[in-house]
Structure 1
Amino acid sequence: MKPTLNVLQAVDVAYARYNARKTFSDARASQFVSQQVGPFVMTQDATRSDSYYNRILGVTRYNIGRLPQAISQFSPLPHSLRVDVVAAEAPVVEEQLHQLEFQQSETVLWLWAHPTERPLSVAVQLLLPDQIDRLRPLFETKRPLDNSLWDARKRYLSTAELQTFVIEADGLLVAMASIFLRGETAVLGNAFTLPAYRGRGYQQALLQARLNDVYQRQINLAWVDVEADTSSDRNCRRIGFKPFVEIEAWEFQSA
């Protein structure tokens, strides 16, 4: 499969839908929906305040005139609404976005790779369902989670759609990273290492372990989003990822 904007958009929306169900940031059940509205793909989740779940994708210089009509389809209008624009298009459409009271919030770089299998320098293992509770400390580095919320959402950490890879040290699970699987494509999700165990090459090992897994599944297109010119960007390129497109996120905050 070749990397295209349509392929990326489809897996991006599918991954957002999954994350809306998985998140520990809100105890309410997800109400995520997506729909095609003219040239745009719109996503909305009335129970998720983050603009990541409330987006309009596919805005270009050729269709931005239809954006107000698309925004009117949101009912109710979310507190935070995000429009994703290809960075190369942004200089042409930014005036119209400012007129609609959108402000640029971030830029992400999507990278792609045809996976190849390589040996690992660090032991990485696939998380098994009966190991999930051992992951909890990695999700509680900032604040403790409610027991009922953990019990309700932890199952999403190991499913047919999402796999979690872990590294063990000193009898603890100290690093983790996920991969989302959708048909012939995969998205490498966020990775996290406990502060005391950073600087040991765990992030690089988790990257390659997930690419190895995708390769073994005979999935030939992997995606990952990073901030350009960061260590994450460099680590990904080191193992074969190539730049595909930069996306600017523009946000509107309702009253």
Structure 2
Amino acid sequence: MELEPLRNRNNAVLAELERIVALEMELTLFNARRTLFSADKQVEVRNMDGTMLLVDRESPRSEYYNRVIGFGPDSLSKLSEILRFYGECGITPCFDLTPDKQTAEVAAALAGQGYVPRLQLAFLSASVDGAREPGEENRDFRIEAVNEDNVEAFLDLIVLSNGGQRPARELLDKKKEYYYRPEFKNWVAWAGEEPAGMASLFLRGEEGYAANDFTFPAFRGRGCQTALIRHRLRAARELGIRKLYADVEFGGTSHLNMLKAGFSTAFINAFWMKTR
């Protein structure tokens, strides 16, 4: 999926918002293709007059893959049509609202359909080429890149982090090459011989998206995530990346770690979901 031309080129704040939203959508579709827990996940994208509808008919309860993106005041007349479309798929969607779309009229319309804002995500950015040096490496952790030789062990760590069963051999063979592609780099932080955490970097041109941060419980609060954030900043600089983006739960530990490492908060999205 190609990034759409910016509609707000003359407004630096909204232009960056558009870039982040478009790149995050590309990452979402890539994640659908690489997932180890579905053989052929097919996420559809429908454009309804500028409002993007993400649909995963095979995972109707997934709020991540069944999202309405770009909904706002100009989309209010389409609300019934949007809900009817998802309803015919047996899906209750999540409305992913950027701050420029969060008006009183939009809130009233969604509330009238039984939706409430249940989650706020902070979207962050860092200018890699102009950023300060990310600091010294944390000597408590050894960070190892995932490659063709060690990808099998990395997939085992993903399964372990999800608490699931190892997928079938055929599925692993089909999906493993996603995890060491040039546009999707992954790292493992080791504490001695124990895996401490994992993180990835999704690349498009001169931009990147830091994602999939995970620290194993025994190593939380010991600087593992910060070590992985700083390592990705260094890697991005070496790769010629100019801007890095990320999203985290607003106000959480990951948000604080990103800010300490040199990211700044670009905007905060509200995720409106149907009350259970």
The answer as to 2:93 corresponding to 1:81 is: yes
Are the equivalent residues in 2 in contact too, given 1:207–1:236 (CA < 8 A)?
yes
1:120 paired residue number: 137
Aligned-residue offset at 1:78: 4.3
Give distance in 1, aligned partners of 2:76 and 2:112: 12
| Distance across 2 between alignment mates of 1:213 and 1:154 | 22
| Aligned pair partner of 1:131 in 116, 139, 150 | 150
The equivalent residue for 2:31 is 19
| Equivalent residue letter for 1:120 | E
Relative distance call for 1:217 and 1:189 in structure 2 (3 A) is: same
- After superposition, the C-alpha distances for 1:104-128 in whole angstroms (9 at most, x for unaligned) are 3311111111124434224322211
2:211 paired with 1:189: yes
* One-letter amino acid of the structure 2 residue matched with residue 216 of structure 1: E
Q: 1:5 aligns with which of 8, 11, 17?
A: 17
Instruction: Measure, in 1, the Cα distance between the counterparts of 2:30 and 2:52.
Output: 17
Answering whether residue 58 of structure 2 is matched by residue 47 of structure 1, we say: yes
| TM-score (structure 1 length as normaliser) | 0.88
After TM superposition, the structure 1 stretch with the greater mean CA deviation from structure 2, 41-50 or 230-239, is 41-50
- Partner of 2:120 in structure 1? 107
| Aligned CA distance change for structure 1 residues 48 and 159 (closer, same or farther; 3 Å) | farther
Is 1:36 aligned with 2:34? no
Larger relative contact order, structure 1 or 2 (CA cutoff 8 Å, min sep 6): 1
- 1:21 positional shift: 1.5
Match of 2:82 in 1: 70
The DSSP-based 3-state class of the residue aligned with 1:186 is strand
CA drift of 1:138 comes to 4.5
1:236 aligns with 2:258: yes
Comparing 92-101 with 167-176, greater Cα deviation is found at 167-176
Q: Are the counterparts in 1 of residues 57 and 89 from structure 2 also a CA contact under 8 Å?
A: no
CA distance in 2, matches of 1:76, 1:154: 34
| Structure-2 change in CA distance of 1:230 and 1:31 (3 Å) | same
For residues 216 and 18 of structure 2, the distance between their equivalents in structure 1, rounded to whole angstroms, comes to 36
- Post-superposition offset of 1:147: 3.1
Equivalent-residue separation in structure 2 for 1:144 and 1:133 (angstroms) = 14
Q: 2:5 maps to which residue? A: none
Query: Structure 2: 5+ residue runs without aligned partners?
Result: 1-8
For 2:219 and 2:158, the matched residues in 1 are separated by 12
Match of 1:198 in 2: 220
Provide the rounded CA distance (Å) in 2 between the counterparts of 1:155 and 1:144.
Answer: 20
Give the CA deviation at 1:95.
Answer: 1.4
